[in-house]
């Protein structure tokens, strides 16, 4: 466990709280992609299957896993009940089956082992790398975002970006290297690069997030 890993996990945790806070404070889920949230729930459910047999291995990991699964399920529940009037299926239209299909194909082609758990783990890693696309696509269609929504996206993107120095650290200092997670994590971070740029040049300078 190194500083980058802890900061990455905290950033992930913070992103979820910001999302819930966004819905609570604006009483709306406008600007949030339900498709992306459903993909994340799929990611957590397929990756954290091991919670049933490694529950006591690391209380830290197990509690984070539970928090990610439950909070994302709760977010989806809120979006589909309390805040459903703000859902806009006309804007949230990214073809998610291609993402699920692509991740499934990569998982079958490159798992570490051919076991159900390892193939699902690999699937979850690839799916996570592209799960933000419906959200970014939606952002592009609306052309602007509430500031709190951009903080959510920044924290969510920063989480995987912080895992990259963590992987480098582990590779050089512990001899641990995880090629699937690393390649997918780099792709995931690259997908955020445009967003990071606009967040840095606009939101951090007190301006509204608007696409050029």
Partner 1 sequence: AKKAAGHDEL
Q: Identify which of residues 139 and 162 has a Cβ nearer to partner 1 in the complex.
A: 162
Q: What is the CA radius of gyration of the chain?
A: 17
Residues that bind partner 1 (CB under 8 A): 5, 9, 12, 47, 50, 54, 57-58, 61, 64-65, 68, 121, 163, 166, 174-176, 178, 181
Q: What's the min distance (Å) between Cβ of 26 and partner 1?
A: 28
Residue 72 beta carbon to partner 1: minimum distance, rounded to whole angstroms: 13
Nearer to partner 1, 88 or 178 (CB): 178
Cβ-based nearer residue to partner 1, 23 or 184: 184
Q: Least distance (Å) from partner 1 to the CB of residue 9?
A: 6
Q: Which is nearer to partner 1, 60 or 77 (CB)?
A: 60
Please give the DSSP secondary-structure letter assigned to residue 207. -
Q: Which of these, 182, 62, 189, 50, lies nearest to 197 by C-alpha position?
A: 189
> Cβ neighbours of residue 143 under 8 Å, at least 6 residues apart?
210, 211
Q: Which is nearer to partner 1, 12 or 151 (CB)?
A: 12
């Amino acid at each position: 466990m190194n500083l980058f890993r802890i900061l990455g996990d905290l950033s992930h945790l913070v992103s979820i709280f910001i999302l819930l806070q966004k819905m609570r404070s604006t009483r709306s889920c406008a600007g949030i992609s339900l498709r992306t949230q459903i993909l994340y729930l799929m990611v957590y459910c397929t990756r954290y299957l091991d919670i049933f047999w490694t529950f006591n291995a690391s209380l830290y990991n197990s509690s984070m896993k539970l928090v990610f699964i439950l909070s994302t399920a709760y977010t989806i529940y809120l979006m589909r009940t309390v805040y459903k009037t703000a859902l806009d299926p006309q804007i949230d239209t990214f073809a998610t089956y291609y993402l699920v299909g692509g991740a499934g194909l990569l998982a079958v082609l490159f798992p570490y082992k051919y076991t159900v758990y390892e193939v699902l783990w690999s699937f979850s890693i690839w799916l996570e790398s592209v799960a933000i696309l419906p959200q970014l696509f939606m952002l592009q269609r609306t052309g602007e975002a509430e500031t709190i929504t951009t903080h959510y996206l920044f924290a969510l993107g920063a989480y995987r970006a912080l895992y990259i120095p963590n992987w480098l650290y582990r590779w050089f200092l512990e001899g641990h290297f995880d090629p699937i997670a690393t390649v997918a994590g780099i792709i995931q971070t690259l997908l955020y690069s445009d967003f990071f740029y606009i967040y840095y040049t606009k939101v951090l300078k007190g301006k509204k997030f608007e696409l050029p």
